Amino acid sequence: MKLGLFTAILIVSCLCFAAKAPASAADAEPYITEGNKLVAEKKIPEALIQYEKALEADPGSIRVKSLLSLCFARSGDLEQALTYAKQVLEAAPGEYAPLYQLGLIHAARKEPKDAVTSFLGALKANPDSFAAHYQLGLAYASLGELKEAVASYQKALELNAYLDNARVALVGAFLSQGDRASASAQIEEFKKMNRNDLARALENRMNRPAA
């Protein structure tokens, strides 16, 4: 999982759950503020301590549990990340942020079937999430379901044409299917966007002799 992605989801989680916090959240707020500061400084173990203190102050907080899940994921403790993510989803069923978060954790745990289920749920809540479409494509590709992966990457690019990772993944999926013409068309799109470095790298990959 990309750290930048988790930073983005951390922000989304704050926005999604802050409004639902009970009155006791005031006691937890200083710990959350300090934890967020430490995350920005990439001091993850120290941030975890602050978030755990926040949970002690406000045991029922969905927001704090979400932050703990994110922070544990960044620390590499995917078991704890999954535990808290499931608690968040139980409290906020059907919402985009916890479903997307859960999908990322399943993907990191190499559980692509569960990741697909979570990302599909996230997209039901927010069909226009290019990030979820892209991650869904990666999960499908891990299962060898390239047709579905291609469709997901294409939808992600329809929503955000500048999502380089999705276009690179799409080229890879086309090449895995033996569709060099479609792969070449995507490389041309990179050239149109002056992403010549990526275009050259992908052309080299496409022209590399098979092992």
52-69, pLDDT tens digit by residue? 999 999 998 999 999 999
**Arithmetic mean of pLDDT, 81-102:** 93
Topology annotation, domain 127-211: 1.25.40
* pLDDT of 208: 82
Q: What is the 3-state secondary structure (H, E, C) of 40-77?
A: HCCCHHHHHHHHHHHHHHCCCCHHHHHHHHHHHHHHCC
* pLDDT of 1: 46
Exposure string (b/e) for 31-57, b if CB count within 10 Å is 16 or more?
Answer: bbebbbebbeeeebeebbebbebbbeb
125-176, pLDDT tens digit by residue? 999 999 999 999 999 999 999 999 999 999 999 999 999 999 999 999 999 9
1-36, pLDDT tens digit by residue? 444 545 544 554 554 555 454 557 788 999 999 999
**Arithmetic mean of pLDDT, 41-55:** 95
* pLDDT of 209: 72
pLDDT at 79 over 70: yes
User: Percent of the chain scored above 70 by pLDDT?
Assistant: 88
How does residue 207 score in pLDDT terms, banded at 50, 70 and 90?
Answer: confident
**Arithmetic mean of pLDDT, 199-206:** 92
Domain with CATH 1.25.40.10 in the chain: 1-14+28-114, 127-211
pLDDT at 88 over 60: yes
How does the average pLDDT of the chain come out, rounded?
89
CATH annotation of 1-14+28-114: 1.25.40.10
